[in-house]
A and B are shown apart, each in its own frame.
Chain A
């Protein structure tokens, strides 16, 4: 059931799966299901740091399916858990030689490299994976995250654009793209960031607080840039549609309201509202 919902809850899975696997007769399992459960048990065992159970399960599985790529993947994961990342990467490499189109092995390899801190190799491996499987949205997200960690924001923007093009109605993709653009900081990027923040706000009916903050900050920066250019009264806006400061002011106003309301019903800590007010005031007066 947990598998169906694609959740990751190692503790209950571990307990349930060990019960089931150890008392096979009582559980009245079919043969095929048994092996699927053993696979789940192995992964859950790794999650709760019980590498021995995992190894034992893998041995049983290996006897039944000696040349299966799934079992080899589990072996690789067990090696990763023991910290032997090079061996794990070698195992995945062998799997890929035999089954060159095994998506999961490719992704596991990237994860192993990333967890070992070998970022550059991980990014290369993931980029190569995406060269073939270019419709995999989650992989693009992960690559964007990796680029962001290393500060390569231009590339991260490209990846986020892929994600937005794939799932345009999900508001936090727009927000994350906007955050990258805002970090880049040139005027063009700031204007684009503003649009994406606005899209996030629009799609989430203003419930995305990070997007609201983003709007306020972007507008603030744009105003300051406008002032530096020597145009104190006319905040610059390329499209001429919405004057620059208005969006930011409205966003700040809404934020203030939200924090006040949260304080009233006791959802947020008491001092928070004052801090937020102070912050927003400096933002908008500058």
Chain B
């Protein structure tokens, strides 16, 4: 099929206006976001639990370096039936339920979402309204037929080459592409659309599950103070070094026994 020849007016009156409009909408959104931004009150308890998980993991990994007394004290701190850190958190409610019931968090989430969703929907609707029904451009690489539904919304020709796209797909291209431009123009703290979407999809750390697994690991750990190997190795190392060997040789000799 021969290539279609598209009117250059399309370029002037469709492609460029869409890009320009999205760019300005983005800037307006950014400034409004900055005005409405409120510092989120960070929950001390949540911080404590997150840090406790890190500390307990480190403890489990490196418990061989600690003496038994030290390890037992910490294990008691973390896993004791009533007062242990991990058992205390289990009583706390599920973070999701908490999110819905906490009014300040809800309003901040709402404003963030509003700021993000509303302009995007408006722009998409505007593009759809004004610029449907015709082909806007041609994608430079070949595509399969599956993309037809996505790229040719509004164009009812079944036999048209899939590489010819409609204006809505141009909108989506801009949506993802202008992020880089915003970074250049507005500095580092611009709204990251894709990041916001990802955040919405992945819920925050589910503390209950994390706690349960860490606690179990710590409970089951059979502690052994393994530092006596250091004595053996140090002795061999020193013996060699004193008798005049080079450091590398002495190191190899020290490590060789194990």
Q: Which A residues are within 8 Å of any B CB, using their own CB?
A: 30, 32, 99-101, 131-136, 157-158, 161-162, 164-166, 168, 174, 192, 194-199, 201-202, 205-206, 215, 239, 241-242, 246-247, 250-251, 253-254, 257
Contacts and interface: CB of A to CB of B under 8 A. Distances in A.
Given A165-B59, A166-B58, A205-B247, A247 B65 contact: no
A206 B243 CA distance: 13
A250 B239 contact: yes
Interface string B33-71: 000000100111001100110110011001101110010
B21 to A, nearest CB: 27
B256 interface: no
Given A100-B44, A132-B51, A241 B66 contact: no
Nearest to B70: A161
A202 B43 CA distance: 43
A30 B235 CA distance: 59
B133 to A, nearest CB: 45
Given A132-B47, A241-B232, 9 more contacts: A132-B51, A134-B48, A135-B51, A136-B51, A199-B234, A205-B250, A206-B238, A241-B231, A246-B235
Question: Which 5 residue pairs across A and B have the least CB separation, nearest first?
Answer: A250-B238, A199-B230, A198-B234, A253-B242, A135-B54
B238 A201 contact: yes
Nearest to A102: B42
27 contacts: A99-B39, A100-B44, A101-B42, A101-B43, A134-B54, A135-B54, A135-B55, A136-B51, A157-B70, A161-B67, A161-B70, A164-B65, A164-B66, A165-B58, A166-B58, A166-B62, A195-B228, A201-B237, A205-B250, A206-B241, A239-B228, A239-B231, A242-B232, A247-B231, A247-B235, A251-B238, A257-B242
B187 interface: yes
B184 interface: no
B70 A242 contact: no
| Chain B interface size range | 35 or more
Nearest to A31: B187
A202 B51 contact: no
B242 A202 contact: no
B73 interface: yes
B148 interface: no
B47 A101 contact: yes
B241 A254 contact: yes
Contacts of A174: 65
A248 B44 CA distance: 49
Contacts of A254: 238, 241-242
A195 B230 contact: yes
A99 B42 CA distance: 8
A100 B39 CA distance: 12
A32 B228 contact: no
A101 B230 CA distance: 41
Nearest to B48: A132
Contact of B44 (A101, A158, A202, A251): A101
Contact of B237 (A101, A197, A205): A205
A164 B254 CA distance: 22
A282 to B, nearest CB: 19
A202 B235 CA distance: 9
Contacts of A253: 238, 242
Contacts of A165: 58-59, 62-63, 65-66
B19 to A, nearest CB: 26
A32 B42 CA distance: 25
A250 B62 CA distance: 28
B251 interface: yes
Nearest to A251: B238
Contacts of A202: 230, 233-234, 237, 254
B106 interface: no
A135 B67 CA distance: 20
Nearest to A100: B44
